[in-house]
Amino acid sequence: MTSADLDPKAAASEGTVPEAPRRHFIQEIIDEHNRSGRFGGRVHTRFPPEPNGYLHIGHAKSICLNFGLAEEYGGKCNLRFDDTNPVKEEQEYIDSIITDVRWMGFQWAGIYYASDYFEQIYQWSVQLIKAGKAYVDHLTADEIREHRGTLTKPGKDSPYRNRTVEENHDLFERMKAGEFKEGECVLRAKIDMASPNINLRDPVLYRILHATHHRTGDKWCIYPMYDWAHGQSDSIEGITHSICTLEFEDHKPLYNWFIESLGIYQPVQIEFARLNLNHTVLSKRKLIRLVQEKHVRGWDDPRMPTLSGLRRRGYTAEAIRNFVEMVGIAKSNSIAEMAMLEYCVRQDLNKRAARVMAVVKPLKVVLTNYPEGQTEMLNAVNNPEDPAAGSREVPFSKVLYIEQDDFMENPPSKFYRLSPGREVRLRYGYFIKCEEVVKDAAGNVVELRCTYDASTKGGEAPDGRKVKATIHWVSAAQALDAEVRLYNHLFTKPFPGDDEGSDFVNDISPASLEVVTGCKVEPSLANAQAGTGYQFERLGYFAVDPDTQGSTLVFNRTVTLRDDWAKQQKSK
Ligand code: ATP
Ligand code: MG
């Protein structure tokens, strides 16, 4: 059975009229805008990462949505760096984000930086001050928090709230000129300290940071807050639909208040549910800790849910796009299963990955009746799912390796693979029978002495006798050495750190990485390029790691062949 047989969608569509793809609520909103002429038929979105970490699979959802809508409606999508916090942002992150968005298969209309708008945002701040809608506050951060009140308690006015326009303007210029220390004062919007929406209780617009910005250097020592920069950046770029995750729903009145107070072009903010995935963490704050505390080898460690980690692991952009599509766009939060992501990559690699034979834990087999020094070439199909992939020759000879797990000296009743006196088929080759087990002094099985039946070439016996198992193998003389990295969930728990007071790093799985050396792979892999994915027959999908150097190939297991998710769906 191929995994395509398990695809519920593929099965449902066979022989039936394909259903029109379901439209999600954001498409419906855009359709309505197009009908009413709200934006003159324009669709202009943006993907706005803060360059304070690498992108993860949650960002892929936002990328597919924003770029996908632009493609669908013949519009545009900007890549905008929301770089308003010099303390946490770096050029390395910008570069990685550009690489990842391109890898996802999207083309931006342009690359923009919020920091390019610092001058304009500063001028708009002066405009707000002059309109009596912003003031310089000398309360400390703690005092501001205290004054802000709670959901049940209204806030209290700051004693600095009623300064004159002239005084505020003068103080703001002095903030900009560097006359104050960090934390000494901030610029706040003057909205409503009693608003039921806490975001409207005089939010901070500017704080002082004597830090060097990765793009503007030391030009500024005041930096706009996210809310004060984001909507204005959207407005400057002529964004029509400013799509963000649900946490920003409560910020929308503020988004609109800023734009309306300034009297500038107004985009529409639309919120959707962020992607959550079990058995991992999707927050840059946590991912940074994994990297900095060296729980993983780096941002692109194949166990990371980052796009660079998934790519190194062997995920294709198409598999990720399909996954995002399957998750869908909704207005309420939910948690996707890692098994579904694995299902998507399996589906994609099933179509595109060449099959090869590789033995991860080798056991030597000597064919006692096979001519010494003879090598024959056997024809092997590259991909049964893709006839265009053709076939290749694999060498066969007297000494082979098989998988240790494919032999048992004292097999239980359900074990059909090789054991003493039993016959099995070698993939693309012959039937072999185990005649003798050779052990070392410690009693470990180190070699099997077998006979082969020359009349079974191609896998069928002329006398019609059957074998119950087909196993993979490689020819010892021509085999290449390899290191194989086997990955499991990075976290033991589906929701890391979920227990009260527990730190998510305590849930890191000690079995998340198993490095196996001394593996043997078929010689056709001699020139395998980093990043290429293969199916190791019977074992799973594996991708060549960039650590591959000299004659030892390094492979990452992308995913096993066992499909828990499809099975689960069937039994539902
Ligand atoms: P994190 O919580 O990982 O730090 P963030 O929201 O701070 O994420 P940004 O760089 O601001 O990270 O995100 C860029 C865009 O990607 C934003 O529009 C954000 O809403 C979106 N995004 C981030 N995480 C997810 C997610 N899990 N699912 C969908 N979209 C996301
Ligand atoms: Mg953010």
Residue 545 domain-assigned?
A: no
The ligand 1 atom at the shortest distance from the C-alpha of residue 276 is: 27
The ligand 1 atom at the shortest distance from the C-alpha of residue 63 is: 16
Using a 10 angstrom Cβ sphere, with 0-12 exposed, 13-18 middle and 19 or more buried, the burial of residue 482 is buried
The pairing of strands 362-367 and 533-536 is unpaired
* Number of Cβ atoms within 10 Å of the Cβ of 279: 20
Please state whether the predicted TM-score (pTM) of the whole model is above 0.85.
yes
Ligand 1 centroid to Cα of residue 281, in Å, is: 13
**Is residue 555 within 8 Å of residue 483, measured between CB atoms?**
yes
Partners of 228 in the β-ladder: none
- Which helix (H) or strand (E) element contains residue 446? strand 445-453
| Angle (CA) 88 293 281, round 5° | 75
The ligand 1 atom at the shortest distance from the C-alpha of residue 56 is: 3
The string of DSSP codes covering 47-103 is E---SSS--BHHHHHHHHHHHHHHHHTT-EEEEEE----TTT--HHHHHHHHHHHHH
How would residue 4 be classed by pLDDT, with cut points 50, 70 and 90?
Answer: very low
Residue 468 domain-assigned?
A: yes
Residue 15 domain-assigned?
A: no
- Which helix (H) or strand (E) element contains residue 560? strand 553-560
How far is 296 from 508, CA to CA, in rounded Å?
Answer: 10
Pocket of ligand 1 (CB under 6 A): 48-50, 58-59, 61-62, 82, 244-245, 274-275, 282-284
At 527, list the tokens.
């020139």
Q: Write phi, then psi, for 188 (nearest 5 degrees).
A: -125, 150
Residue type, 523: P
User: What CATH number has the domain bearing residue 445?
Assistant: 2.40.240.10
Kindly identify the ligand whose nearest atom is closest to the C-alpha of 272. Answer: 1
The sign of the dihedral angle between the CA atoms of 522, 526, 530, 531 is negative
How far is 541 from 532, CA to CA, in rounded Å?
Answer: 10
Ligand 1 centroid to Cα of residue 548, in Å, is: 33
Residue 530 domain-assigned?
A: no
Domain range for 187 is 116-226
Residue 144 domain-assigned?
A: yes
Domain boundary among 203, 226, 249: 226
Domain boundary among 209, 226, 243: 226
Best mutation site among 83, 88, 245 for ligand 1 pocket (most ligand atoms within 8 Å of CB)? 245
User: What CATH number has the domain bearing residue 188?
Assistant: 3.90.800.10
Q: What is the pLDDT of residues 492-526, one digit of tens each?
A: 999 999 888 889 999 999 999 999 999 999 999 99
How far is 342 from 323, CA to CA, in rounded Å?
Answer: 9
Residue 263 domain-assigned?
A: no
Domain count for the chain, please give it.
2
Best mutation site among 59, 108, 275, 504 for ligand 1 pocket (most ligand atoms within 8 Å of CB)? 59
Q: What is the pLDDT of residues 125-155, one digit of tens each?
A: 999 999 999 999 999 999 999 999 999 999 9
- Of the given ranges (12-26, 133-147, 194-208), which has the lowest mean pLDDT? 12-26
Q: Ligand 1, atom 23: nearest CA belongs to which residue? A: 59
Residue 558 domain-assigned?
A: no
Domain boundary among 454, 472, 490: 472
Q: What is the pLDDT of residues 451-489, one digit of tens each?
A: 999 999 999 999 999 999 999 999 999 999 999 999 999
How far is 257 from 490, CA to CA, in rounded Å?
Answer: 43
Helix then strand then coil, in percent of the chain rounded to 5, is 35, 25, 45
Residue 262 domain-assigned?
A: no
